[in-house]
């Protein structure tokens, strides 16, 4: 096995280097033609063409606009899923790059064009040694990550059937290219959204006694809801109840019939999540009673927190260290959301970070001038291949 791993490692290094120009070309083409969630038709067709040209048999239309390709080993073994997301953002690009977006108001500002190239490269490299592997690799090109709906759509189409574990990755400009990031346990938060619509009785502000204004009720909720977190949540467990919008009325002297308030709840604890959801509903009922109005709560659960499987931390770290040396940073978790969480909630999963920061720049994802280092593509391919080989070897 040791000799095989040495041969595999040599193949991965050589094949990744040989593919690098092609993968950069692919990335730039996808960057020039970004597509929003569930609109990734050209992107999917381009990926299918790349995979078919290498003799693989990808399936399109999974989860709407997703692509899946299975790579079967020469002997039975576990099925490992590798997820790469492919959608862009509604941002007008301001990089000035020669391959900048040609679609006004749409940009790959989160690096999913890099992810698509890395996923493609990983599929092509691993296909070259497939007959010597024990198990199956399922490379998944997922749509609609930015709206947190693509993973569920693919799961509904059976992408997790027969899968034993799942690996995800994301580029990270906070880390210089050549470094990698890992997080213990929960890496992101759950993300729920809610809208409270308050209905009262409108009228003239000169005759307030004849109205039941919804505005004081909304104001009360705006103060009371965020206060639920310190009152009810364990202070050792991060939770954020953030309000993003309040809407009421159109004139200075007219009391509106309705007003609304909307926000999000994020936490890395399901217990805290359930507690605060129930408390929001109670608070709405209390405010409705106190102000003699109706409060309609529309609470929509989003994705759960993404939790890295403890048993996968060691082999993932071992794979990265074996290939790249001491270039791993252990990172704090984020309060953002990521729908890879739905994969890792169903099967053991692990999501790691690939450094994409260019020297001399201080980029951030979701910025109109985001310019990741394209050297992260080849390194990402090598990292993904190394992790997959390590997991297959330990199975």
Q: Which residues are annotated as a binding site for Mn(2+)?
A: 110, 112, 146, 170, 366
DSSP string, 160-172: TTT--EEEEEEEE
Where b means 16+ CB within 10 Å and e means fewer, 357-367 reads bbeeeebebeb
d(CA 247, CA 260): 5
Q: At what angle do helices 112-127 and 2-32 cross, to 10 degrees?
A: 140
CA distance 76 to 134: 5
Q: Hey, is 66 helix, strand or coil?
A: strand
Cα(386)–Cα(10) distance, integer angstroms: 11
Q: What's the rounded Cα separation, in Å, for the pair 381 and 331?
A: 21
Tokens 């059976």 identify what position? 158
3-class DSSP assignment, residue 258: strand
DSSP state string for 263-309: EEEEES-HHHHHHHHHHHHHHHHHHHHHHT-EEEEEEE------B--
* Binding site, annotated residues: 110, 112, 146, 170, 366
Torsion of CA 84, 86, 88, 94, to 10 degrees: 80
Alpha-carbon span 315 to 310, nearest angstrom: 10
Closest CA to 111 of 390, 349, 377, 333: 377
> 109 and 44 in contact (C-beta within 8 Å)?
no
Chain mean position to CA 63: 16
The two structure tokens encoding residue 40: 């990734």
């Amino acid at each position: 096995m040791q000799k095989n791993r040495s041969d595999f490692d040599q193949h991965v290094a050589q094949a990744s280097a040989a593919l690098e120009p092609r993968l950069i070309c692919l990335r730039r083409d996808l960057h020039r033609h970004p597509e929003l969630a569930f609109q990734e038709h050209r992107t999917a067709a381009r990926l299918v063409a790349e995979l078919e040209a290498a003799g693989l048999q990808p399936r399109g239309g999974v989860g709407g606009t997703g692509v899946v390709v299975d790579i079967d080993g020469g002997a039975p073994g576990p099925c490992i899923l590798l997820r790469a997301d492919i959608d862009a953002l509604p941002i007008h690009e301001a990089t000035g790059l020669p391959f900048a977006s040609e679609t006004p108001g749409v940009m790959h500002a989160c690096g999913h064009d890099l992810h698509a190239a890395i996923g493609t490269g990983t599929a092509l490299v691993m296909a070259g040694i497939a007959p010597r592997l024990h198990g199956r690799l399922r490379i998944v090109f997922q749509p609609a990550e930015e709206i947190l709906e693509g993973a569920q759509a693919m799961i509904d189409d059976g992408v997790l059937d027969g899968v034993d574990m799942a690996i995800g990755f994301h580029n990270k400009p906070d880390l210089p290219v050549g470094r990698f990031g890992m997080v213990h346990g929960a890496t992101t938060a759950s993300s729920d959204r809610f809208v409270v619509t308050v209905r009262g009785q409108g009228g003239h502000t000169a005759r307030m006694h004849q109205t039941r204004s919804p505005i004081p009720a909304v104001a009360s909720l705006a103060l009371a809801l965020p206060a639920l977190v310190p009152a009810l949540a364990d202070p050792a467990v991060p939770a954020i109840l953030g309000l993003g919008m309040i809407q009421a009325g159109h004139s200075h002297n007219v009391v509106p019939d309705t007003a609304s308030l909307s926000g999000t709840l994020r936490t890395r604890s399901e217990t805290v999540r359930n507690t605060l959801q129930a408390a929001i509903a109670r608070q709405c009922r209390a405010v409705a009673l106190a102000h003699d109005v109706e409060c309609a709560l529309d609470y929509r659960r989003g994705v759960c927190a993404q939790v890295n499987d403890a048993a996968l931390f060691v082999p993932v770290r071992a794979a990265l260290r074996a290939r790249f040396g001491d270039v791993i940073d252990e990172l704090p978790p984020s309060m953002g959301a990521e729908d890879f969480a739905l994969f890792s909630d169903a099967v053991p999963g692990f999501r790691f970070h690939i450094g994409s920061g260019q020297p001399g720049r201080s980029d951030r994802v979701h910025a109109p001038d985001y310019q990741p280092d394209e050297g992260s593509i080849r390194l990402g391919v090598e990292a993904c291949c190394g992790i997959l080989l390590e997991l297959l070897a330990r199975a």
